[in-house]
Structure 1
Amino acid sequence: MAKAARLAPPPAPVRPRLAKSWLWRLQSLLANYLPLLLMAFLASGTWWLVKNTPTPDGVDILPPPRHEPDYQMKNFDLQRVGADGLMRVRIEGLELRHYPDTDTLEIDGISLRTFGSDGGVTLAKANRAISNSDGSELQLLGAVHVQRFDQVPPGQPAGAPKLEVRGEFLHAFVNTETLRSHLPVQLNYAGAELKAQSFEFNYLTSRLSFGGNTQARFEAPASTQRSKKAKPS
C-alpha cells in the first residue's frame, strides 16, 4: 500500500507594509534628538542669563579714580619715626588732604621739622606743600623759608643757621637730606648772601651748587672789621 506524500504547509500570508506617516517620523526624530536639543536650550539660556543679569554693587568695572580727596584733617600733627625709633620728620599744618589716585598729600600752612643723621635740624615753612605718602619727599610752594641748624651740644644755645633759603618753590628729599629748586631763591650760607636762579644743597656732603644768573655778597670776617675800626696810637 503506497504512503501518501506529505505536503508542505502553505506559506503565511504576507501582510502589506503600511507607509509610515510624517507624524510618526517626526515623533521618532524628536525622541532621538530630544536630549541634545534640551542641552543646547539650557546652555543658551544660561548664557543669556549671565549676560543680562545685573551684577551686585562693587563688582562692576570701576572708572578711573578722580583727583578728589578721600580723607581730610585739620590742625594736624604727623610724625615719622625711623627704624632706630628716633623721630625723623614732624609735619604740622592747617589742613591735609589725601588723593588716592596719586597717593599724595596736599598740605596748607605747613610747618616742617626734620632730624638729620648727623644730628642737624631743618625747619621749613610754606603756604602749601605736596608730599608723597610717607613724607620722604616734599614740594614746598609759596613764601618758602627753610633753616638748617647743625647739631648743638646739650646745654648749649642754638647758633645761627648754617643755611637759610627763601623763595617760592623748594623740593626737599628727606632720606638723602637734599634741597633743590629750579626757581630763583635767596641763600645765606657760610657768611655769604646769594641770589641764584637755581640751586641744590646736600647736607651730608655740605656741597652747594647753583646755576643761572647768580649774585653774591660776602661779609668780611669779624677780625678784619675790628682792625679797620681800630685807630693807631
Structure 2
Amino acid sequence: MAASRRRPAWAAAHGWRHALDRLSRGWERTAIYIPVLLMGLLALGTYWLVRNTPGSLPSEGQKVISSEPDYYMRKFGIKTFDDAGQLKSDVAGTEVRHYPDTDTLEIDKALIRSYSIEGRLTTSTGDRALTNGDGSEVQLTGNARVVREASVGPDGREVARLEFRGEFLHVFVNDERVKSHLPVVIKRGADEFEGDTFAYDNLDRVADLKGRVKGVLVPRKAIGRVP
C-alpha cells in the first residue's frame, strides 16, 4: 500500500516544472508594473524631501536685513586718520550700537572730535548721537553742543570761538553746516544769539535764525585805548 501512494519521478518533475511556469508567468505580469511602482516610490520620496528639507538660504540680493543691532561696544573709543596719517576724528561714548538696516551708529553720551583740513578742532557732544555709515552726518539729541575752537584763518586773522547749544543739532561734517528745528543758543566769542530754529553755514559764515530771535553784542575794546 505504501508503494502505491508514492508519486512517480516523472510526476514530481512535472509538478516542479508547472510551479516554475506559474512563478515565471507571475513574475512577468509583475514586471510590467515595476516601472510604475518605482516612479510612485520616487514621487513619494521627492515629496518627503521637499516637506522635510529646510528652506534654502536667501541669495545676497534677497537677504533680510534686521532692524535690531548686529553689534555693540561699551566704553569705546575710535580714531580715524586721513591718507597722510593725520588724525581726522576721535569718537567715544559709553555705548555704541550698529543698525544694519540703516547702516547707522547710535552712541550714548557721545563725544566726537573732528579736525578740518586746516587742523581746526570741532567738538560735538550729546546724550545721544546718531551717525550715518561714513560719519558725514551726526544728529545730536539731549544737551547737544557743538564747539569750534578759536583759530587763525588763512589771512592771518583770528577766528573767534563758536558754540551751538540746544536739545537737537544736525551736523553736516563735510559741508561744515549745522541746523536745528528746535531752539538754539549761538555764542561767537563774547556775543550770544538765540532763535527758535536756525541753520549755519561755516563756509559762507552765515547764520540764519528764525522765530523769536534775540542777541547780545559785546563791544570790542579799541586797540591802544587806555582803560
TM-score of the two chains, using structure 1 as the length reference: 0.69
Give the unaligned 5+ runs of structure 1.
1-25
The reply to whether residue 113 of structure 1 matches residue 116 of structure 2 is no
Match of 1:87 in 2: 87
Match of 1:23 in 2: none
Task: Give the whole-Å Cα distance in 1 for the aligned partners of 2:132 and 2:65.
Answer: 20
- Computing the radius of gyration from Cα coordinates, the structure with the larger value is 1
- The AA in structure 2 aligned to 1:51 is V
TM-score of the two chains, using structure 2 as the length reference: 0.70
- The AA in structure 1 aligned to 2:40 is F
Equivalences, count: 196
Report if the CA contact (8 A) 1:116-1:177 is conserved. no
1:118-139: CA deviations, max 9, x gaps?
A: 3321012211111223322211
Q: 1:173–1:84: structure 2 CA closer, same or farther, 3 Å change rule?
A: farther
Match of 2:101 in 1: 101
CA shift, 1:184, in A, is 0.5
Higher helix share: 2
SS in structure 2 of the partner of residue 223 of structure 1: coil
SS in structure 2 of the partner of residue 51 of structure 1: helix
- Alignment RMSD: 3.5
**Correspondence 1:36-185 to 2 at 5 A:** 37-38=36-37, 40-55=39-54, 59=57, 65-67=66-68, 69-152=69-152, 161=161, 163-185=162-184
Match of 1:210 in 2: 209
Identity fraction in percent: 33
Task: Give the whole-Å Cα distance in 2 for the aligned partners of 1:42 and 1:28.
Answer: 20
CA shift, 1:148, in A, is 0.8
CA shift, 1:49, in A, is 2.4
1:170-191: CA deviations, max 9, x gaps?
A: 1112222221111100001365
